[in-house]
């Protein structure tokens, strides 16, 4: 299927594999791109060395486009009072596990896109760069566009979509409330503004002149077909790939995705400090979805990390970020190419393998 989006991205099919930090590397991105869709590599949690190695792998493995994804969050100011409140919230869990909460290191853990990151990736001239939480500063974004990269970013409201259009995005990802992982919201932090994909999508399509990519809860050919009927130029799919052969999803996470637990997902800030959709495990249920003492993104991660490691060592995901969208039941243990080919049926016979 050829349209405005496929021409913009230089791909054969208007399907984007969502970047999923912590559960994939270049193998999944390459497998999807090799089908003629667009694979994505999550880069926000990679060290400079790891990112360079992944970029070398991409360059050596394919001539097809792969999207590099980065975060654009503001680095939070230190807040001793909030940090103390967070540690107090988690103290009973540390005591239960026999861990020392005073030994928890401070640190952001995720670095926003910057000139330093642009310096690293510019020699590779990635053809597509996508962002979450808005866009980088204008001077940094100008560098990305100067080497010819197509720029994508997520909008969770019409206001955000209009902002992206005005500030240099080439296409908008309409991220509905069903989507797994972090909400891309950045103009406000009120989760009551977040609506479902098929309510959000036609509103954004009507509001902007850019191609719009539907994301959130789309995990089958029928979902693809519905999104296209509502005016999408393409779709972005993440959760459906979590159990793929190429994903690095842990055995604990895979088990949860293929169990009745996956029927209950929730928005929560306990894993990072920002709203993100996860399977509702013990820590989400007990602290509530949006915990008022969780520090700003990404500072919450440091204190959750030791609890996650302790329980995962015992085969339990009680404190693990079990990212999943609301359609996790569609996860299949198949090769990523097979999953992609199933989804392509939603675009019609011309896209079927």
Could you give the count of Cα atoms lying within 13 Å of 173 in the half-sphere of its Cβ? 31
* Torsion, CA 12, CA 15, CA 21, CA 27, rounded to 10: -40
Contact 208, 233 (CB under 8 A): no
Flag whether 9 is in a domain.
yes
Flag whether 162 is in a domain.
yes
Selection from 168, 320, 188 nearest residue 256 by Cα? 320
Measure Cα distances from 45 to 103, 112, 315, 350 in Å.
22, 10, 24, 37
Same domain, 104 and 115: no
- Residue 104 confidence (pLDDT): 86
Same domain, 226 and 279: no
Measure Cα distances from 140 to 26, 119, 161 in Å.
24, 10, 20
Q: In this structure, are strands 181-182 and 276-279 parallel, antiparallel, or unpaired?
A: antiparallel
Flag whether 254 is in a domain.
no
Same domain, 274 and 215: no
Same domain, 208 and 62: yes
Q: How would you write the pLDDT of the chain (353 residues) with one tens digit per residue? A: 899 999 999 999 999 999 999 999 999 999 999 999 999 999 999 999 999 999 999 999 999 999 999 999 988 888 889 999 999 999 999 999 999 999 887 765 688 999 999 999 999 999 999 999 999 999 999 999 999 999 999 999 999 999 999 999 999 999 999 999 999 999 999 999 999 999 999 999 999 999 999 999 999 999 999 999 999 999 999 999 999 999 999 999 999 999 999 999 999 999 999 999 999 999 999 998 899 999 999 999 999 999 999 999 999 999 999 999 999 988 999 999 999 999 999 998 756 55
**Structurally, how many domains does the chain consist of?**
2
Contact 178, 197 (CB under 8 A): yes
Same domain, 180 and 281: no
CATH number of the domain where residue 12 is located: 3.20.20.70
- Residue 295 confidence (pLDDT): 93
Flag whether 155 is in a domain.
yes
Contact 22, 304 (CB under 8 A): no
Same domain, 326 and 347: no
Flag whether 120 is in a domain.
yes
Q: Is the pTM of this model over 0.75?
A: yes
Please return the burial class of 292, using the count of CB atoms within 10 Å of its CB with bins 0-12, 13-18 and 19+.
exposed
Structure tokens at 42: 């999550």
- Residue 187 confidence (pLDDT): 97
Same domain, 141 and 244: yes
Domain that holds residue 295: 79-108+259-330
Flag whether 278 is in a domain.
yes
Same domain, 135 and 224: yes
- 180-226, pLDDT tens digit by residue? 999 999 999 999 999 999 999 999 999 999 999 999 999 999 999 99
Same domain, 85 and 212: no
Flag whether 230 is in a domain.
yes
Strand-by-strand arrangement of the 181-182 sheet:
181-182, 276-279, 265-268
3-state secondary structure of 75: coil
Same domain, 103 and 163: no
Question: Distance between CA 137 and CA 73 in Å, rounded?
Answer: 11
- 95-132, pLDDT tens digit by residue? 999 999 998 877 656 889 999 999 999 999 999 999 99
The alpha carbon of 4 is separated from its chain's Cα centroid by a whole number of angstroms, namely 24
With tokens 């940094």, the residue in question is 140
Contact 149, 192 (CB under 8 A): no
- Residue 350 confidence (pLDDT): 59
Same domain, 339 and 326: no
Same domain, 131 and 235: yes
- Residue 271 confidence (pLDDT): 96
């Amino acid at each position: 299927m050829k349209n405005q989006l496929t021409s913009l991205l230089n791909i054969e099919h208007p399907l984007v594999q969502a970047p999923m930090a912590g559960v994939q590397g270049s193998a999944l991105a390459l497998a999807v791109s090799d089908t003629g869709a667009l694979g994505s590599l999550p880069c926000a949690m990679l060290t400079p060395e790891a990112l360079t190695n992944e970029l070398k792998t991409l360059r050596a493995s394919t001539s097809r486009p792969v999207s590099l994804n980065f975060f654009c969050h503001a680095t939070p100011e230190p807040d001793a009072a909030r940090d103390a409140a967070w540690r107090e919230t988690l103290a009973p869990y540390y005591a239960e596990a026999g861990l020392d909460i005073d030994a928890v290191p401070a640190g952001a853990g995720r670095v926003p896109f910057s000139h330093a990151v642009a310096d690293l990736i510019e020699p590779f001239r990635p053809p597509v760069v996508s962002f979450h939480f808005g866009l980088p500063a204008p001077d940094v974004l100008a560098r990305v566009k100067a080497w010819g990269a197509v720029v994508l970013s997520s909008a969770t409201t019409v206001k955000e979509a209009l902002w992206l259009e005005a500030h240099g995005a080439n296409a908008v990802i309409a991220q509905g409330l069903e989507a797994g992982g972090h909400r891309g919201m950045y103009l406000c932090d009120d989760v009551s503004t977040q609506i479902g994909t098929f309510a959000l999508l036609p509103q954004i399509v009507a509001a902007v002149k850019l191609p719009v990519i539907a994301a959130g809860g789309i995990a089958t050919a029928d979902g693809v077909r519905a999104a296209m009927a509502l005016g999408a130029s393409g779709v972005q799919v993440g959760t459906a790939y979590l159990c793929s052969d190429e994903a690095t999803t842990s055995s604990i996470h895979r088990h949860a995705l293929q169990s009745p637990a996956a029927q209950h997902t929730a928005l929560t800030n306990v894993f990072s400090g920002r709203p993100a959709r996860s399977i509702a495990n013990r820590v989400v249920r007990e602290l509530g979805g949006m915990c008022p003492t969780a520090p700003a993104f990404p500072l919450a991660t440091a204190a959750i990390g030791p609890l996650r490691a302790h329980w995962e060592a015992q085969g339990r995901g009680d404190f693990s970020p079990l990212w999943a969208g609301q359609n996790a039941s569609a996860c299949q243990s198949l090769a990523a190419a097979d999953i992609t080919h199933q989804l392509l049926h939603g675009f019609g016979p011309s896209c079927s393998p």
